[in-house]
């Protein structure tokens, strides 16, 4: 693409001079841009002659489209294009696993919010008014809204022609019929959570002279977006060039396509740059959410507290399109007993189509829901056994060498018991000084002045979890990195180029650290992510430091090998005797031979490498697999919660976490991930739920979909341990997801301890507490 | 309509402004200042916090015409040329920035807090920043950044320990 | 869309008379949300932020009662800073409105004009028997706040009228305000309750929010409590209130509510919470009264 067409605010090279290798905590290379307000997020982009795109969405969760009349909209002044399903140039279907979702609805709409038509106009308001002029004649149908019913009632309407089951997966281990001394059972439900990333879906598409299109956007996975977009546009993928712009958070919500195809269609049709930016309300309709779940659990144990069996039926509501539902069922069932060693397991999981909003990836994918259930069960079991809940967990904790319910032997550290012991030992908050008048901001209700201490009871609770890291069940999971080493003004400079999405987690920092450590250079620039380098996969499944870190490491090592080979030839020393140190090439025999920059001269060394992690294998029909998942990660939380037992209001006083991260490549960023993940788990525990009634979202706004504020999130003690995984680069273990998973059950356990209530649904609301 | 206002000390003019536009839209789309962010556009997230006549407000809730002849200060105006402001520096140093979308609004809100209350207690920091949502950090490092900024600005509060309880 | 920017009050009234459909906008905290989300497209916006007199408050006397006249465009932040001791209940409520940014911008007049059942400013105004001053080119009129609200987001205002001010009798006794939300900051009320003790006239004021189609007072509860206090000689010789009195007060407050189920809470919870809040706020107010702080109701950590 020529520079004359580049957007005014464009993705920047990250070239701040920052030092620090693997294991240190250097600052972010994008920090200065971000605090200055100069970082180019996808919604900040602007191009000369740019039009605004807008999307008409279905008001009904289930309806047949009889007709669409775009005439009046098209004739409206300032409108440059109005497009419907007929205008989709290629395949009018996309999807991450199952290709089942139309780019624009054809004859039916399957959820309220489904895209039906597009407009490009010279101003957002012109586009909105044109949407009003598009006349769609709907025949409204009865929606399917209950996933459990959909799994068993064949008389319900079929949301898709193939039926309503996206995936059914049983897991059977040992004797599913075995009996036990003590049995506890429960039914648990998890509400629909939203990723609530702050940067709305947005992209700027610029038509290119070669018939292709350049799309600047925020996403988690450029290549998967491109593959789906190119198919829908009927273009060679090489003609669909995607460049990552600043991403305002993701958390799974940017795995699926949102505006990608739409904005490209409008740009190609009008021949002008087109930008689409969702507002917050549209964002709630424009991306998938966390699957709501209903889960039936039965735990059996000996009188001594040894788990004998776990049986469960898990129902996940996938909504109108499959998205990541197959993976949610896979993760939910395989991880459904939690981080415990259980001899007899019978779990069945259903992921269902309904006419509810589509659900897909969110941090902790498929592991969040069962963790709430199995940890609630462990507390219930501890009560039935009159045992300490932490002791019960330690007694049954899985560890290295144990076999998972799928038959996989854990061949890396699994320090679950250690994490529980450590989190229990972290300091508890000091009790308020006797007689001191409390600051109402420290009490449930805060400045809203609902209590001065009346009804407030403190509770403490624990939660621990397991999460698989990286793609699983036989997916070829890999990432690609290109590293270029050159001499710039007498200094060696490494440029790292990947398609791996920096979504805020600090991957750019980690890539620099790896390059500095591997190449012994100070200056490492990060090239903007784009599709001109090979795929990196998604910034999801806590996988990027593992796989992209591995790819950067491999590419750096390949560069180093070439550099050393050149040096060996020039100085007549065997390459095996050479190493890099502090920007210089050092021989074991003769000491410093030369500066790296000097050897490079005017030549650049560039290498591209893929990193594939160990192979995984699909589950069979009984849920068996030699290695379903490449790695597991664990975290344990302790929550201290004050509950106003009369009003049902909650103040989390302290939230502590112990987590094994294998190797902390950037210890401060690890802590940041644990704090942020824990906050999202807190949100699910006490406030976050998309309320859906008859297929319609009732609270699509930040006024009524509440996420934690700084007054809701308590101080944390974070305890990070490093029990390296011998199979992973540097021994790393995925970090991002576990803290989102174990914080929720810990908080609910603390509320139970304070109130004595059962609390079988998250988020816990005041109504649940006062009963 | 035509709109004249002062932004970060510079007189600016925007033409052909539709009357229903917000100050946020004008800043981002007409004046080339996209630093203030468009996260919720309903006053719930604080990402668009700007100074309006030196008072922090949500730019999404100011009608464009209400900014006529007013003074607006945005995140782009916090630094003194190449020199970052104390609050900006502290946010970087303390790792308070992840995706960074909430950062511009938080910086303006924190800048205002330290201006008004040079040595804020933790409770004061939390109450002052309650209108700025962050989805990435869990706020702990934001607390640390504001404490650090206050210290560096001349406040005498203690260390910015991030765990084990708030300071009162 | 037209954007009118009157520089003075009479100009604003003329503009409203000429454009009765014009939507007044001050803090913008309601109007701009509707504009941003395409929920409303008024023909004309009438900006009130340039009218200095709307941003002023003053102490006056009304019917012999010391009263604060608050211009319609005084933002919440100034109610907290400047009127915390004179009108403590209102200041406490103002502190719970949105975020600092919202409180810097949002105005009491806007709160009243929106007439949301959840408006945080309404209950303490009701508890203090506030009056609202409406004006048009035809003249000015003042009516009790209770008569101003006519339905959900509906008021008694004529199309050519603007809110000029609110008249709030100065507090002569403790005042309290509580608001239920499912987050510890920045929430729209699930329900709110305000109570004000008026020792000079031996009366009790209450206000309920998010509890009925319009903000309302719990008249029966007020009368019961005033009666009980008088009967026991409590005004002159305050002793601890019997549990039966606080409990009955809570019951009567809850009975005054006619709440609904919505995304923020259930009717049942609202009724229950109002009962609890009424009991608690009364006990706090009474403790203050007993401690001899005749005019207090200060926030515990303002």
Domain span at A538:
478-612
The CATH code of the domain that includes A73 is: 3.90.1170.50
Q: Is residue A276 part of a domain?
A: yes
Where a domain ends, among A612, A632, A649?
A: A612
| B19/B13 Cα distance (integer angstroms) | 15
Q: Is residue C17 part of a domain?
A: no
Check whether A754 has a pLDDT greater than 90: yes
Give CA angle at A715 (B151, B117), nearest 5°: 30
Mean pLDDT score across all residues of chain A: 96
Answer yes or no: are the C-beta atoms of B115 and B106 closer than 8 Å. Answer: no
Check whether B160 has a pLDDT greater than 80: no
**For the segment A582-597, what is each residue's pLDDT rounded down to a tens digit?**
999 999 999 999 999 9
Three-state secondary structure readout of C65-76 = EEEEEEECCCEH
Q: What does residue A243 show for φ and ψ, rounded to 5 degrees?
A: -125, 130
Instruction: Kindly state whether residues A405 and A448 are assigned to the same domain.
Output: yes
Residues of C with Cβ-Cβ distance to B44 under 8 angstroms: 99, 186
**For the segment A258-268, what is each residue's pLDDT rounded down to a tens digit?**
999 999 999 99
Instruction: Kindly state whether residues A423 and A495 are assigned to the same domain.
Output: no
Instruction: Kindly state whether residues C98 and C223 are assigned to the same domain.
Output: no
Report yes or no: C236 at the A interface, CB cutoff 8 Å: no
pLDDT on residue A18: 73
| B3/B22 Cα distance (integer angstroms) | 12
Residue C107, min C-alpha distance to chain B (Å): 13
pLDDT on residue A641: 98
Instruction: Kindly state whether residues A352 and A491 are assigned to the same domain.
Output: no
Confidence of residue A9 (pLDDT cuts 50, 70, 90): low
Report yes or no: A448 at the C interface, CB cutoff 8 Å: yes
Q: Is residue C16 part of a domain?
A: no
CA distances from C4 to A339, A650, C71, C296 (A): 65, 46, 20, 42
CB atoms within 10 A of CB C154: 11
Instruction: Kindly state whether residues C31 and C165 are assigned to the same domain.
Output: yes
Answer yes or no: are the C-beta atoms of A39 and A30 closer than 8 Å. Answer: yes
Instruction: Kindly state whether residues A551 and A646 are assigned to the same domain.
Output: no
| A758/A761 Cα distance (integer angstroms) | 9
pTM above 0.95, yes or no: yes
Confidence of residue A2 (pLDDT cuts 50, 70, 90): very low
CA distances from A757 to A460, A749, A760, C272 (A): 14, 10, 9, 18
Report yes or no: A711 at the C interface, CB cutoff 8 Å: yes
Domain span at C257:
175-290
Answer yes or no: are the C-beta atoms of A724 and A675 closer than 8 Å. Answer: no
Kindly list the structural domains of chain B, giving each domain's residue range(s) and its CATH number in brackets, ordered by start: 3-77 (3.10.20.30), 86-152 (1.10.150.120)
Check whether C296 has a pLDDT greater than 50: no
Q: Residue range A675-689: average pLDDT?
A: 98
Burial class (CB in 10 A: 0-12, 13-18, 19+), A631: buried
Q: Which of A80, A151, A157 is nearest to A325 (CA)?
A: A151
| C42/B6 Cα distance (integer angstroms) | 27
Confidence of residue A13 (pLDDT cuts 50, 70, 90): confident
Instruction: Kindly state whether residues C154 and C183 are assigned to the same domain.
Output: no
Check whether A644 has a pLDDT greater than 60: yes
pLDDT on residue A1: 38
Instruction: Kindly state whether residues A232 and A340 are assigned to the same domain.
Output: no
Residue with tokens 């597991």: A632
Beta bridge partners of C167: C69, C131
The partner residue sitting opposite B99, judged by closest CB among A38, A44, A504, is A504
pLDDT on residue B166: 62
Residue A708, min C-alpha distance to chain C (Å): 7
- Those residues with Cβ within 8 angstroms of residue A288's Cβ, 6 or more apart along the chain or in another chain: A252, A253, A255, A256, A319, A323, A324, A357, A358, A359, A360, A361, A362
Beta-carbon separation of C1 and B20 below 8 A = yes
pLDDT on residue A433: 72
Check whether B155 has a pLDDT greater than 70: no
Q: Which of A13, A497, A6, A501 is nearest to A218 (CA)?
A: A501
Beta-carbon separation of A446 and C276 below 8 A = no
Instruction: Kindly state whether residues C193 and C136 are assigned to the same domain.
Output: no
Instruction: Kindly state whether residues A672 and A637 are assigned to the same domain.
Output: yes
Report yes or no: A679 at the B interface, CB cutoff 8 Å: yes
Which pair of tokens denotes residue B12? 């600016």
Instruction: Kindly state whether residues A275 and A128 are assigned to the same domain.
Output: yes
pLDDT on residue C294: 44
Which pair of tokens denotes residue C226? 């005033």
Q: Is residue C11 part of a domain?
A: no
Report yes or no: A651 at the C interface, CB cutoff 8 Å: yes
Q: Which of A508, A498, A490, A485 is nearest to A560 (CA)?
A: A485
Mapped onto helix, strand or coil, the DSSP state of residue A176 is coil
| A706/A702 Cα distance (integer angstroms) | 6
Check whether C260 has a pLDDT greater than 80: yes
Which pair of tokens denotes residue A595? 């500066």
Instruction: Kindly state whether residues A482 and A461 are assigned to the same domain.
Output: no
Q: Which of C78, C111, C109 is nearest to C95 (CA)?
A: C78
Confidence of residue A436 (pLDDT cuts 50, 70, 90): confident
pLDDT on residue A7: 67
**For the segment A215-240, what is each residue's pLDDT rounded down to a tens digit?**
999 999 999 999 999 999 999 999 99
Which pair of tokens denotes residue A8? 């005014």
Instruction: Kindly state whether residues A387 and A439 are assigned to the same domain.
Output: yes
The CATH code of the domain that includes C259 is: 3.30.390.50
| A318/A303 Cα distance (integer angstroms) | 39
Q: Residue range A750-757: average pLDDT?
A: 98
Instruction: Kindly state whether residues A600 and A638 are assigned to the same domain.
Output: no
Check whether A5 has a pLDDT greater than 90: no
Residues of A with Cβ-Cβ distance to B19 under 8 angstroms: none
Instruction: Kindly state whether residues A626 and A603 are assigned to the same domain.
Output: no
Report yes or no: C298 at the A interface, CB cutoff 8 Å: no
Beta-carbon separation of B101 and A279 below 8 A = no
Instruction: Kindly state whether residues C155 and C33 are assigned to the same domain.
Output: yes
The partner residue sitting opposite C178, judged by closest CB among A450, A651, A765, is A450
Run of H or E including A25 = none
Report yes or no: C92 at the A interface, CB cutoff 8 Å: yes
Structural domains of chain A, count? 3
- Those residues with Cβ within 8 angstroms of residue A509's Cβ, 6 or more apart along the chain or in another chain: A26, A27, A28, A29, A666, A669
- What interface predicted TM-score (ipTM) does this complex get? 0.96
Check whether C299 has a pLDDT greater than 80: no
Residue A711, min C-alpha distance to chain B (Å): 6
Q: What does residue A336 show for φ and ψ, rounded to 5 degrees?
A: -70, -15
Q: Which of C79, C72, C241 is nearest to C165 (CA)?
A: C72
Residue B48, min C-alpha distance to chain C (Å): 10
| A13/C112 Cα distance (integer angstroms) | 51
pLDDT on residue C68: 98
Confidence of residue C194 (pLDDT cuts 50, 70, 90): very high
Check whether C266 has a pLDDT greater than 70: yes
Percent of chain A with pLDDT over 90: 95
| A63/C127 Cα distance (integer angstroms) | 50
Q: Residue range A419-443: average pLDDT?
A: 89
CA distances from A640 to A429, A470, C80 (A): 8, 32, 32
Check whether B141 has a pLDDT greater than 70: yes
Where a domain ends, among C169, C196, C227?
A: C169
Instruction: Kindly state whether residues C96 and C194 are assigned to the same domain.
Output: no
Residue C300, min C-alpha distance to chain B (Å): 13
Instruction: Kindly state whether residues C148 and C227 are assigned to the same domain.
Output: no
Q: Is residue A96 part of a domain?
A: yes
Chain B contact partners (≥3 CB pairs within 8 A): A, C
Three-state secondary structure readout of A503-562 = CCCCHHHHHHHHHHHHHCCCEEEECCCECCCCCCCCCCCCCHHHHHHHHHHHHHHHHHHH
The partner residue sitting opposite B100, judged by closest CB among A34, A672, A675, is A34
Which pair of tokens denotes residue A559? 């560069």
Report yes or no: B1 at the A interface, CB cutoff 8 Å: no
The CATH code of the domain that includes C91 is: 3.30.465.10
Report yes or no: A253 at the B interface, CB cutoff 8 Å: no
The partner residue sitting opposite C263, judged by closest CB among A698, A708, A766, is A698
| C47/C28 Cα distance (integer angstroms) | 9
Beta-carbon separation of B141 and A675 below 8 A = yes
Instruction: Kindly state whether residues C65 and C165 are assigned to the same domain.
Output: yes
Check whether B89 has a pLDDT greater than 90: yes
**For the segment B12-47, what is each residue's pLDDT rounded down to a tens digit?**
999 999 999 999 999 999 999 999 999 999 999 999
The partner residue sitting opposite B41, judged by closest CB among A279, A676, A679, is A279
Where a domain ends, among C147, C169, C191?
A: C169
- Those residues with Cβ within 8 angstroms of residue A435's Cβ, 6 or more apart along the chain or in another chain: none
Instruction: Kindly state whether residues C36 and C147 are assigned to the same domain.
Output: yes
Check whether A200 has a pLDDT greater than 90: yes
Instruction: Kindly state whether residues C58 and C152 are assigned to the same domain.
Output: yes
Q: Is residue C12 part of a domain?
A: no
Check whether A744 has a pLDDT greater than 80: yes
Report yes or no: A740 at the B interface, CB cutoff 8 Å: no
Q: Is residue C2 part of a domain?
A: no
Mapped onto helix, strand or coil, the DSSP state of residue A295 is strand
Beta-carbon separation of C184 and A703 below 8 A = no
Structural domains of chain C, count? 2
CA distances from A502 to A536, A539, B84, B120 (A): 11, 8, 24, 33
Collect all residues from B whose CB is shorter than 8 A from any CB in C: 1, 18-20, 22, 41-44, 46, 49, 52, 55-58, 60-66, 68, 109, 123, 127-128, 130-132
Where a domain ends, among C111, C134, C169?
A: C169
| C126/A667 Cα distance (integer angstroms) | 55
Confidence of residue C292 (pLDDT cuts 50, 70, 90): confident
For chain B positions 13-52, those within 8 Å of chain A (CB to CB) are 18, 20, 28-29, 32-42, 44-45, 47
**For the segment A86-121, what is each residue's pLDDT rounded down to a tens digit?**
999 999 999 999 999 999 999 999 999 999 999 999
Instruction: Kindly state whether residues A336 and A395 are assigned to the same domain.
Output: yes
Instruction: Kindly state whether residues C180 and C239 are assigned to the same domain.
Output: yes
Where a domain ends, among A590, A612, A634?
A: A612
The CATH code of the domain that includes A580 is: 3.30.365.10
| Among chain B residues, CA nearest to C42 | B20
Confidence of residue C56 (pLDDT cuts 50, 70, 90): very high
Check whether A4 has a pLDDT greater than 50: no
**For the segment B41-73, what is each residue's pLDDT rounded down to a tens digit?**
999 999 999 999 999 999 999 999 999 999 999
| Interface mutation vs chain C, best among B25, B42, B51, B61, most C CBs within 10 Å | B61
Check whether A668 has a pLDDT greater than 70: yes
Cis ω before A763 (30° cut-off from 0)? yes
Backbone Cα Rg of chain C: 19
| C191/A648 Cα distance (integer angstroms) | 13
Give CA angle at B29 (B27, B31), nearest 5°: 50
How far apart, in Å, do the first and last CA atoms of chain C sit? 42
Instruction: Kindly state whether residues C201 and C246 are assigned to the same domain.
Output: yes
Residue B133, min C-alpha distance to chain A (Å): 6
Confidence of residue B163 (pLDDT cuts 50, 70, 90): very low
Mapped onto helix, strand or coil, the DSSP state of residue C164 is strand
| B3/A726 Cα distance (integer angstroms) | 63
């Amino acid at each position: 693409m020529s520079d004359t067409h580049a957007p005014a605010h464009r993705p920047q090279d990250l070239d701040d001079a920052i030092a620090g290798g693997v294991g240190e905590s250097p600052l972010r290379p994008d920090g200065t841009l971000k605090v200055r307000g100069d970082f180019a997020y996808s919604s900040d982009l602007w191009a000369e002659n740019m039009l605004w795109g807008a999307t008409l969405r279905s008001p009904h969760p289930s309806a047949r489209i009889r007709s669409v009349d775009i005439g009046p909209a098209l004739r409206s002044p300032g409108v440059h294009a109005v497009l419907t399903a007929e205008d989709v140039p290629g395949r009018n279907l996309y999807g991450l696993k199952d290709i089942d979702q139309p780019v624009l609805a054809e004859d039916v709409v399957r959820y309220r919010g489904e895209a039906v038509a597009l407009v490009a106009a010279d101003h957002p308001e012109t586009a909105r008014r044109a949407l009003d002029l598009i006349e769609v004649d709907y025949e409204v149908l009865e929606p399917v809204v209950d996933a459990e019913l959909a799994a068993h009632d064949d008389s319900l309407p079929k949301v898709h022609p193939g039926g309503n089951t996206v995936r059914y997966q049983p897991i059977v281990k040992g004797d599913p019929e075995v009996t036990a001394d003590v049995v506890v059972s429960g039914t648990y439900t998890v509400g629909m959570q939203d990723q609530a990333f702050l940067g709305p879906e947005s992209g700027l598409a610029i038509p290119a002279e070669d018939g292709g299109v350049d799309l600047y956007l925020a996403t988690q996975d450029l290549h998967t977006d491109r593959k789906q977009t190119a198919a829908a546009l009927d273009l060679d993928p090489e003609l669909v060039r995607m460049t990552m712009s600043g991403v305002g958070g993701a958390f799974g919500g940017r795995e699926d396509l949102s505006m990608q195809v739409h904005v490209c269609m409008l740009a190609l049709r009008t021949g002008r740059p087109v930008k689409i930016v969702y507002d917050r309300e549209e964002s709630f309709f424009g991306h998938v959410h966390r699957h709501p779940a209903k889960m039936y659990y039965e735990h059996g144990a000996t009188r001594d507290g040894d788990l004998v069996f776990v049986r469960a039926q898990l129902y996940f509501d996938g909504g109108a399109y499959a998205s990541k539902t197959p993976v949610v069922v896979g993760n939910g069932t395989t991880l459904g007993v939690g981080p415990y060693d259980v001899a007899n397991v019978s779990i069945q999981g259903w992921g269902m189509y309904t006419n509810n909003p589509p659900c897909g990836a969110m941090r902790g994918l498929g592991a969040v829901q069962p963790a709430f259930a199995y940890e609630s069960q462990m507390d219930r079991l501890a009560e039935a056994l009159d045992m300490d809940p932490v002791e019960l967990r330690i007694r049954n904790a899985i560890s290295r060498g144990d076999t998972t319910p799928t038959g996989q032997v854990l061949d890396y550290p699994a320090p679950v018991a250690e994490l529980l012991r450590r989190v229990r030992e972290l300091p508890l908050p000091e009790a308020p000084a006797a007689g001191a008048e409390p600051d109402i901001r420290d009490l449930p209700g805060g400045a809203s002045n609902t209590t001065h201490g009346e009804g407030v009871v403190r509770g403490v609770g624990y939660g621990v979890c397991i999460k698989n890291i990286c793609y699983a069940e036989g997916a070829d999971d890999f990432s690609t990195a290109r590293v270029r080493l050159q001499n710039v003004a007498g200094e060696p400079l490494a440029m790292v180029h990947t398609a791996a999405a920096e979504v805020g987690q600090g991957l750019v920092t980690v890539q620099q650290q790896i390059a500095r450590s591997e190449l012994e250079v100070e200056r490492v620039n990060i090239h903007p992510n784009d599709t001109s380098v090979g795929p990196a996969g998604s910034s999801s499944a806590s996988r990027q430091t593992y796989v992209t870190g591995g790819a950067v490491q491999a590419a750096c090592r390949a560069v180093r090998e070439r550099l050393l080979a050149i040096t060996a030839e020039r100085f007549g020393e065997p390459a095996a005797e050479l190493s890099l140190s502090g920007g210089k090439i050092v021989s074991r025999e003769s000491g410093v031979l030369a500066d790296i920059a000097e050897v490079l001269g005017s030549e650049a060394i560039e290498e591209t490498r893929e990193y594939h992690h160990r192979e995984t294998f699909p589950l069979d029909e009984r849920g068996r697999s030699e290695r379903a998942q490449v790695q597991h990660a664990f975290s344990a939380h302790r929550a201290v919660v004050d509950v106003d037992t009369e009003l049902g209001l909650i103040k989390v006083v302290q939230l502590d976490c112990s987590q094994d991260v294998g190797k902390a490549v950037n210890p401060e960023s690890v802590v940041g991930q644990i704090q942020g993940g824990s906050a999202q788990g807190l949100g699910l525990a006490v406030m976050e739920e998309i309320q859906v009634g008859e297929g319609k979202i009732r609270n699509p706004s930040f006024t009524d979909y509440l996420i934690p504020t700084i007054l809701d999130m308590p101080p944390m003690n974070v305890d990070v341990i490093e029990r390296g995984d011998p199979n992973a680069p540097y021994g790393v273990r995925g970090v991002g997801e576990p803290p989102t998973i174990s914080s929720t059950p810990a908080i609910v356990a603390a509320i139970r301890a304070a109130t004595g209530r059962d609390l079988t649904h998250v988020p816990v609301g005041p109504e649940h507490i006062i009963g | 309509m035509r709109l004249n206002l002062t932004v970060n000390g510079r007189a600016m003019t925007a033409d052909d402004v539709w009357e229903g536009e917000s100050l946020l839209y004008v800043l981002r789309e007409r004046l080339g200042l996209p630093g203030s962010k468009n996260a919720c556009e309903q006053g719930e997230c604080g990402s668009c916090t700007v100074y309006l006549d030196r008072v922090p407000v949500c730019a999404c809730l100011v009608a464009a015409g209400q900014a006529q002849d007013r003074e607006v200060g945005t995140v782009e105006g916090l630094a003194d040329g190449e020199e970052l402001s104390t609050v900006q520096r502290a946010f970087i140093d303390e790792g308070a920035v992840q995706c960074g979308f909430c950062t511009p609004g938080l910086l303006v809100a924190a800048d205002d807090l330290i201006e008004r209350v040079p040595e804020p207690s933790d409770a004061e920091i939390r109450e002052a920043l309650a209108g700025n949502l962050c989805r990435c950090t869990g706020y702990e490092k934001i607390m640390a950044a504001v404490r650090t900024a206050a210290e560096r600005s001349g406040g005498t509060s203690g260390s910015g320990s991030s765990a084990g309880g708030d300071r009162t | 869309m037209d954007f009118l920017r009157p520089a003075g009050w009479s100009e604003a009234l003329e503009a409203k008379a000429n454009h009765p459909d014009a939507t007044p906008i001050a803090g913008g905290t309601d109007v701009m949300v509707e504009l941003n989300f395409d929920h409303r497209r008024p023909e004309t916006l009438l900006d009130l932020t340039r009218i200095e007199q709307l941003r002023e408050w003053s102490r006056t006397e009304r019917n012999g009662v010391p009263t604060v006249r608050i211009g319609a465009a005084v933002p919440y932040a100034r109610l907290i800073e400047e009127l915390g001791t004179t009108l403590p209940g209102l200041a406490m409520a103002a502190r719970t409105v949105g975020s600092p940014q919202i409180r810097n911008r949002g105005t009491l007049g806007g709160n009243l004009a929106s007439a949301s059942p959840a408006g945080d400013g309404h209950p303490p105004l009701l508890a203090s028997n506030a009056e609202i001053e409406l004006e048009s080119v035809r003249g000015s009129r003042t009516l009790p706040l209770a008569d101003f609200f006519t339905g959900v987001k509906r008021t008694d205002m004529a199309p050519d009228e603007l809110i000029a001010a609110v008249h709030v009798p100065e507090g002569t006794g403790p005042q309290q305000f509580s608001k239920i939300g499912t987050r510890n900051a920045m929430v729209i009320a699930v329900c709110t309750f305000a109570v004000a003790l008026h020792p000079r006239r031996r009366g009790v004021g209450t206000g309920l929010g998010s509890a009925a189609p319009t903000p309302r007072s719990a008249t029966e509860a007020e009368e019961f409590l005033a009666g009980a206090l008088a009967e026991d000689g409590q005004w002159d010789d305050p002793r601890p209130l019997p549990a039966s009195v606080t409990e009955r007060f809570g019951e009567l407050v809850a009975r005054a509510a006619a709440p609904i189920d919505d995304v923020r809470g259930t009717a049942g919870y609202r009724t229950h919470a109002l009962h609890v809040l009424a009991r608690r706020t009364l006990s706090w107010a009474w403790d203050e009264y007993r401690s001899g702080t005749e005019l207090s109701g200060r926030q515990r950590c303002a």
